[in-house]
Amino acid sequence: MMRSKIAELLESTHFGTEVTVMGWVRTKRDSKGGFSFLEINDGSTIKNIQVIAEDKLANYTKEILRLTIGCSVIVKGILVESPGKGQKVEVQATDVKTIGWADPDTYPLQKKRHSFEYLRTIAHLRPRTNTFGAVARIRNAMSYGIHTFFQDRGFIYLHSPIITGSNCEGAGDMFTVTTLDLQGLKHKDGMVDFREDFFAKPASLTVSGQLEAEVYALALGNVYTFGPTFRAENSNTYRHLAEFWMVEPEMAFCDLKEAVDLAEEFVKSILTSTLTNCKDDLDFFNRFVDKDLISTVEHIIRSTFERLTYTEAIEILSQVRERFEFPVEWGKDIQSEHERYLCEVVFKRPVVVTDYPKEIKPFYMKVNKDGRTVKAMDILLPGVGEIIGGSQREDDYETLLNRIKEMNLDPGDYWWYLDLRRYGTVIHSGFGLGFERLIQFVTGLSNIRDAIPFPRTPKNLEF
Ligand code: ATP
Ligand code: MN
């Protein structure tokens, strides 16, 4: 059976042709004149197609009149020009077949608007709403845009491992991967004996593909990863997930400034392609979630990102330190309230903060000549705060070794990473962009749990 996608039918002018629509009933109205209007959605677009079913259809009383929200149907009919307002085409049904019923007494999605909190409890049905259908299509288009951006520039797509034996930034935030029997766990001298475990050593889910991306950048030049990463941080915030997707380009022969330039171009490019390719879905968010959404995105695309050092940022923030909950002090991390103040109040555009104190950044970032700061960069967006974190990597063997020791890490765990600096080392840089945060920004959704199909957060793993 040829299935006609609603997205295509709505643009079609082939009136009089027979079409077959397959989808789910969004609404039904029965008219006294002896016919019913069905609104059908098939996921190909946020828009529904209107179907007119007349009472002369054989199953009109027994079946069509009984259809309710959520039923799946196959409709055959003739595409006709719509006399009604709000749509150009409609389908005059010649046959309506019900495939699956959805009992209106129990079907959780009814016509009223449900809260995001409620919809999270029915993550298996929420993609059938306008909002979550739109998020899914936007997510898809943005993934495609990300690959296109890097492929157009000759970057090699790298599949970095999900299970890792190295800990990129500190073991506290990682999920352990084990086949040990946790119930009957045997200890040796009070410690878990990992020699008994699958890999004969501790293993975890990756928090970043960066270290492996560096390996490949130092052979292939420019690479990028785009995959899931895992953080066991116990933070219940509107912008943290335990499982999220990260895009991580890594470039050989590239310094911090060039990495920031690429990141700015990257963000603007993805936003631009999303505006063009997801117009109907973005219009929906602009109407129902945030009236300034599209104009904000357009503003970001046109603006030049403000660049300043961490030290300069602290100077600005310390002039208004009373406004903040967290202390503003050189050497302390910039918190999300500070990030948003810089973007939303001071500069009113994206902000790039560079050259952070080395104590608050990971060991692999290149130490500046001052010995106190590292070549780090964070890109902050209004609304969501930090969207990208990156750096120029330490390329000097001795300095890197010392940093590893300073941070109380075991150089033995990083022998292969250190080797990259012993053999053919080059200046190189990279960054990581949190995919769901960018989706949050583009859709205006206030909670990151609505930007991923099945969110994983503390105490939450139903689906
Ligand atoms: P934050 O300070 O916001 O918690 P981070 O500094 O720990 O983030 P990085 O290690 O720099 O994050 O990761 C790179 C990017 O990944 C971040 O800029 C952010 O966009 C995204 N990201 C980090 N942690 C999470 C998370 N738990 N959930 C969703 N996205 C995240
Ligand atoms: Mn960061």
| 3-state secondary structure (DSSP) of residue 45 | coil
Q: Tell me which of 182-191, 245-254, 429-438 is least confident.
A: 182-191
Closest C-alpha to ligand 1, atom 6: 389
Instruction: Tell me what percent of the residues of the chain surpass a pLDDT of 90.
Output: 90
Q: Identify which of 174, 240, 360, 448 to mutate to test ligand 1's pocket (most ligand atoms within 8 A of the CB).
A: 240
pLDDT, mean of residues 281-290? 97
For residue 162, pLDDT over 50 is answered with yes
Measured from the Cα of 242, ligand 1's closest atom is 27
- Confidence (pLDDT) at 1: 67
**pLDDT at position 113:** 86
- Confidence bin at 392 (pLDDT 50/70/90): very high
* 442-456 mean pLDDT: 97
For residue 338, report the distance from its CA to the centre of ligand 2, in Å.
14
Region 304-309: mean pLDDT is: 98
Residue 350, pLDDT > 50, answer yes
pLDDT tens per residue, range 68-112: 999 999 999 999 999 888 889 999 999 999 999 999 999 999 888
Query: Which DSSP state fits 176?
Result: B
pLDDT at position 170 over 60 = no
> Does the structure show a pLDDT above 50 at 171?
no
Q: Is the pLDDT of residue 401 over 50?
A: yes
Q: Pick from 76, 105, 99, 95: which is nearest to 25 by CA? A: 99
Average pLDDT for residues 268-289, to the nearest whole number? 97
Q: How many Å apart are CA 21 and CA 40, to the nearest integer?
A: 8
The finding on whether 455 has its CB within 6 A of some atom of ligand 1 is no
Helical segments of 255-347, H only: 256-277, 279-288, 293-302, 310-318, 336-340
**DSSP code of 64?**
G
CA separation for the pair 351, 295 (Å, rounded): 18
- In percent, the amount of the chain with pLDDT more than 70 equals 98
Ligand nearest to the CA of 245: 1
Q: What is the pLDDT of residue 185?
A: 87
Exposed/middle/buried for 187, CB within 10 Å: 0-12, 13-18, 19+?
exposed
**Averaged confidence pLDDT in the chain:** 95
Q: Ligand 1 centre and the CA of 123: distance in Å?
A: 24
Residue 137 CB–ligand 1 contact under 6 Å? no
> With a 6 A CB cut-off, is 240 part of the ligand 1 pocket?
yes
Give the chain's radius of gyration (CA, Å).
27
Distance in angstroms (rounded) separating the CA atoms of residues 149 and 159: 17
Ligand 1, atom 4, lies closest to the CA of 240
- Ligand 1 atom closest to the CA of 432, numbered from 1: 14
Residue 3 is predicted with a pLDDT of 93
> What is the whole-number distance in angstroms between the Cα of residue 203 and the centre of ligand 1?
21
pLDDT given at position 19: 98
Of 169, 244, 381, the residue with max ligand 1 atoms within 8 A of its CB, to mutate for a pocket test, comes to 244
Residue 386 CA, ligand 2 centroid: distance in Å: 7
pLDDT higher than 90, residue 404 = yes
- How far, in Å, is the centroid of ligand 1 from the Cα of 239? 9
User: For strand 187-188 and strand 156-157, is the pairing parallel, antiparallel, or unpaired?
Assistant: unpaired
Residue of the CA atom closest to atom 3 of ligand 1: 386
pLDDT of residue 463: 93
In the reported structure, the alpha carbon of residue 434 is separated from the centroid of ligand 1 by a whole-number distance in angstroms of: 6
Mean pLDDT across 433-450: 97
pLDDT at 235 over 90: no
Closest CA to ligand 1's atom 9: 389
Mean pLDDT of 132-143: 98
pTM of the model: 0.96
What is the spatial distance between Cα 413 and Cα 211, in angstroms, rounded to a whole number? 12
Quick one: DSSP state of residue 166?
S
Specify the pLDDT at position 135: 98
DSSP letter at 346 equals: I
Mean pLDDT, range 56-70, rounded to an integer: 97
Among protein residues, the one whose CA lies closest to atom 31 of ligand 1: 434
Per-residue confidence (pLDDT) for residue 168, from 0 to 100: 52
432 lines ligand 1 (CB under 6 A): yes
Q: Does residue 451 surpass a pLDDT of 70?
A: yes
Size of the chain, expressed as the number of residues it contains:
463
